[in-house]
Structure 1
Amino acid sequence: MIRADDLEHCREVIRTGSYSFHAASKLLPADARDPALALYAFCRLADDEVDEGDHKRRAVLDLQRRLDAIYAGQPRNAPEDRAFAAIVEEFEMPKALPDALLEGLAWDAQERRYADLSGVRSYSARVASAVGVMMCVLMRARDPDALARACDLGVAMQLTNIARDVGEDARAGRVYLPLDWFDEVGLDVDQFLRNPEPSVATRRMTSRLLAEAHRLYLRSEAGIPALPRDARTGIYAARFIYDGIGKDLRRGGLDNITRRAHTSKVQKIGWVGRAMLRSGLSMVTPRSPVLHARPLSEVAFLVDSASCESRPLGRAAALLDVLAQLQQREAEIEHRSSRA
């Protein structure tokens, strides 16, 4: 059980730091709403520590220690840690899921670039689909097909984020678009990062990424009727709202360099209404055969981790490897500093 004061802290974190999620959480069933706020508060803490700090590698390594302490039953004396420890115990949250998120944050700390779309989907699986699967665990939905479609939704949402933030990321020296796409459109990556400008090439890549996201949004819908009835409206709403960001990008001529796509409050209200209608229809319409489509290869380990008791050993080794790389890099920097 989450302590009342810890839960109130998590609510305040989400209320001030993510208005959209705070509003969307009200559409979740009562028994999943509070655990979802605790989960999102910890994920938000992890993301902010790595994304906004001056020492990204150190932040990831500290998060690893915090996560290990939570699963050892000795969480750090902080509201987010205590609240997350409570839901880990109550819902038997597989450690492979937050580990996957941590691995994605470690990739960010390494400033990885991705050679192809599969690499971008692998990154999206960690920073987005892992959270979606954890949400399924909170709803006690561990059917492999439902988990696979939740992963589709997570990847689609992250691809939309990437498409929206191309210019912002470029000005920060980051690139998440597949590198082979740059080759195909004849655009040099490093030159683009030095001087990001909208062009036919950037619009082609953005359109291509949004098309992949839209494909996965459509596929994800088949899994929503497999969730508890009172959870469906919130998940449909998230699907429509995020896909709406992509639609606004297209209305803006696919310019994600000089403008940032957004959705209005009126649009969100409309999509919530549409979500309520779709949720009602899901009670009477037959299940789509798409529900049983195989998961993306890049997310299969998440589905296996949440639907089975055993944790895939290969994933633990992968996380330990990337953390060891971060530790080695930190040690090298400290050694040079001590000799200076």
Structure 2
Amino acid sequence: MTDAGILDDSRDVFRRKARTFWWAARLLPADTRDDAALVYAFCRLVDDTADEDLDAEHARLALAALHGEVQGSFTPRPLVAEFRAAAQRLNLPLDSALELIEGARGDLDVVRVADDAELLRYCYRVASTVGLMMCAVLGVRRREALPHAVDLGIAMQLTNICRDVAEDAANGRVYLPADRLARAGVNPEDLVRGRASAAGVAEVVRGTLEMADRYYASADGGMRDLPPRVRPAILVASRVYRAIGVRLRRRRCDALGGRTVVPWPEKMYWGTRAVAEALRPGMRGATPRWAHDATLHAALRGLPGANA
């Protein structure tokens, strides 16, 4: 049984920090929402361990300790102990949690991304791993659905990267691929110094959002494998997150002009459409499943849950 104090803390973290995900998760059954909150709180612990310590070496040691706690080689703190118990109960893959920690370790270095392949592997580690853990929480049983869950994580993280270009650059991090930036006449170091061409950055953001669209489309292929009672929540999260890219395009992909936020009326619009989509007959099994496009995972060979 989950510790009541840990569960209350997890709900609070989920409500305060997740925003879009918390809004969508309100459509989940209560017990599933609590498991999602616990997984989110663990993922937030990983992120905060990497991001909140100004000493990178100290953060590396802290992540190494967290890695050991998840593996069971160190005595886990209460949240990790509850996460491990939930993982056993839900058949949740701990290898995904360990990959998430590896992704957080990468953020401690000087972040420069060479190309799309490197970017996709990063997105897998910091986002698709969460999707794979959520598959266990949501009761997804078909292994064929997992590559589609990987793709939803990639699409959402690509959206994050496009939204947060300026904020990341201010922190010395450039996730937009260097080869795309070079073709647009942008030097990553100029982006960090605040001297990059806004038009050049917008060109790269536009191309990255197009890449995200391919992964959102592939993610849709796994939606009918979600149990009907949880499907509306995931479609809402997908559509509302994708709306960030829609708004960025309205701004001509100007990622340097301020953080793009989806206002509540638009969230309600996309959320209502998503619920209607989740309930339509085709989603309930009247249409064939989508075969996953293996070329989308060419850069992910060997990673758990990816299309082999």
- Which structure has the higher relative contact order (CA within 8 Å, separation 6+)? 1
Whole-angstrom CA distance in 2 between matches of 1:144 and 1:77: 31
Whole-angstrom CA distance in 2 between matches of 1:293 and 1:136: 20
Partner of 1:293: 293
Q: TM-score scaled by structure 1?
A: 0.83
Whole-angstrom CA distance in 1 between matches of 2:299 and 2:268: 33
Partner of 1:13: 13
Question: Does the 8 Å CA contact 2:111/2:172 hold for their aligned counterparts?
Answer: no
Whole-angstrom CA distance in 1 between matches of 2:60 and 2:24: 28
Q: Secondary structure at the match of 1:297?
A: helix
- Greater CA deviation, 175-184 or 193-202? 193-202
- Greater CA deviation, 179-188 or 53-62? 53-62
Paired-residue identity, %:
34
Return closer, same or farther for 1:277/1:74 CA change in 2, 3 Å cut-off. Answer: same
RMSD across aligned positions (CA): 2.2
Matches within 5 A, 1:63-78: 63-72=63-72, 75-78=75-78
Per the TM alignment, residue 198 of structure 1 is displaced from its structure 2 partner at its CA by 5.0
Partner of 1:274: 273
Q: Write out per-residue CA displacement over residues 266-292 of structure 1, whole angstroms, 9 at most, x where no aligned residue.
A: 111222211111111111530343x43
- Greater CA deviation, 25-34 or 210-219? 25-34
Question: Does the 8 Å CA contact 1:233/1:279 hold for their aligned counterparts?
Answer: yes
Partner of 1:90: 89
Per the TM alignment, residue 169 of structure 1 is displaced from its structure 2 partner at its CA by 1.2
Q: Secondary structure at the match of 1:292?
A: coil
Whole-angstrom CA distance in 1 between matches of 2:250 and 2:12: 34
Q: Secondary structure at the match of 1:98?
A: helix
Whole-angstrom CA distance in 1 between matches of 2:34 and 2:86: 10
Per the TM alignment, residue 82 of structure 1 is displaced from its structure 2 partner at its CA by 3.0
- Letter matched to residue 69 of structure 2: A
Unaligned 5+ runs, structure 1 = 308-340
Per the TM alignment, residue 302 of structure 1 is displaced from its structure 2 partner at its CA by 4.2
Return closer, same or farther for 1:91/1:84 CA change in 2, 3 Å cut-off. Answer: same
Q: Secondary structure at the match of 1:263?
A: coil
Q: Write out per-residue CA displacement over residues 275-334 of structure 1, whole angstroms, 9 at most, x where no aligned residue.
A: 111111111530343x433261334544448x9xxxxxxxxxxxxxxxxxxxxxxxxxxx
Partner of 1:164: 163
Question: Does the 8 Å CA contact 1:198/1:255 hold for their aligned counterparts?
Answer: no
Per the TM alignment, residue 260 of structure 1 is displaced from its structure 2 partner at its CA by 1.1
Q: Write out per-residue CA displacement over residues 127-152 of structure 1, whole angstroms, 9 at most, x where no aligned residue.
A: 00000001002223242321000111
Per the TM alignment, residue 64 of structure 1 is displaced from its structure 2 partner at its CA by 2.9
Return closer, same or farther for 1:17/1:34 CA change in 2, 3 Å cut-off. Answer: same
Whole-angstrom CA distance in 2 between matches of 1:299 and 1:26: 32
Question: Does the 8 Å CA contact 1:157/1:242 hold for their aligned counterparts?
Answer: yes
Per the TM alignment, residue 114 of structure 1 is displaced from its structure 2 partner at its CA by 1.5
Rg comparison, structure with higher value:
1
Matches within 5 A, 1:199-214: 199-214=198-213
Q: Secondary structure at the match of 1:229?
A: coil
Q: Write out per-residue CA displacement over residues 75-127 of structure 1, whole angstroms, 9 at most, x where no aligned residue.
A: 5343x223212212212332211111011111111123221011000000000
Structure 1 position 112 matched with structure 2 position 127:
no
Return closer, same or farther for 1:68/1:249 CA change in 2, 3 Å cut-off. Answer: same
